Amino acid sequence: MVPRKILGVIMGVAICFQLNLATAQEDQVFSGPQVDEAMPAFSVLPLFRDAPQSDRELNSDSPDEATLFIFVHQITRPAMGLVRTVTGFAKSLGDRSRCHVVFLSDDVTATQQWAQAARNSLTLPADLFVSKDGPEGPGVLGLNRQVGVTVIIAQQGKVKANHALIQPGDAIDSPQIAASLAKAIGIDPPTADELAKYQSGPMGRRNQPEEVDLRPLLGPVIRLSATAEQVDTAAALVEKEAEKNPAFKKRLVEACQAIVGSGRLDNYGTEHCRKYLKKWSEEIDK
């Protein structure tokens, strides 16, 4: 039986990874063209009204770069945190990648007014647009309005990766998207420390400091591309910190118990990683 304290965590306490257990769904969610399918060109409008309000056609036809399309279905703090991290990483790749952020809305004017009011905070290193085709976006894409964010990585008109996120979380989802982008251009995925420099609060505000931040140490453990040896090395650093830092250990155990207690353990990291998550979830009384 899951302890009452951990049930409280599962029911909504924000733990270090901005963990939202609803992101782990039994059925895969689809939004937009899938891997190896064609990425159609589509038209949008500039997000800011002081730019000429004429149609802009977006495509992924360039032979020299990967194009990252981020469709924001719902403007939330977690979504904007993810957008800021992913666009920051994409920008760091220079001319190897290009990033477009497209906001979806049933009221283009209202969205542009919001953007104008929030302009000083919308300092994203990407091209910003709004779809003129309502909350489902351009019809040629087949986006799913039930998700929070859809991220598509394409090259030369073909989809290389698709991430459909019902309730996006920066700490969990950004590393996976960054790894997909890195793979598309043929480089190693960023480490947790490398990605952390782009992670900030929604709308450009730095996150409020947490009592304990697990991300720098736990991130490498749950990285999907990590080998068993890399997981062991990262896990050893986690356990070393837990031995000397009771607050860190407490937060670690709560996070792992929330993951294991959700019944969605298989959605996190590699099989080797999950052995550690299960082990750490059982250490609450040690």
Give percent of the chain above pLDDT 90: 53
- For residue range 207-266, list pLDDT tens digits in order: 433 446 677 788 889 888 889 999 999 999 999 988 988 888 888 888 888 788 777 788
Q: Check whether 7 has a pLDDT greater than 50.
A: no
Report the distance separating Cα 202 and Cα 18, nearest Å: 12
Cβ atoms within 10 A of the Cβ of 33, count?
19
Greatest CA separation for the chain: 63
Report residue 106 as tokens.
């049933």
Instruction: Say if residues 245 and 225 touch (Cβ distance below 8 Å).
Output: no
Residue 100 DSSP SS3: strand
Instruction: Say if residues 100 and 83 touch (Cβ distance below 8 Å).
Output: no
pLDDT for residue 253: 87
User: Who contacts 73 (Cβ-Cβ below 8 Å, separation ≥6)?
Assistant: 104, 135, 143, 145, 147, 148, 149, 150
C-alpha distances (whole Å) from 95 to each of 91, 130, 199, 271 are 8, 24, 21, 35
- Average pLDDT, whole number, for the chain? 83
Instruction: Say if residues 127 and 166 touch (Cβ distance below 8 Å).
Output: no
H/E stretch holding 225 reads none
- For residue range 171-182, list pLDDT tens digits in order: 889 999 999 999
pLDDT band (50, 70, 90) for residue 15: very low
Q: Check whether 267 has a pLDDT greater than 90.
A: no
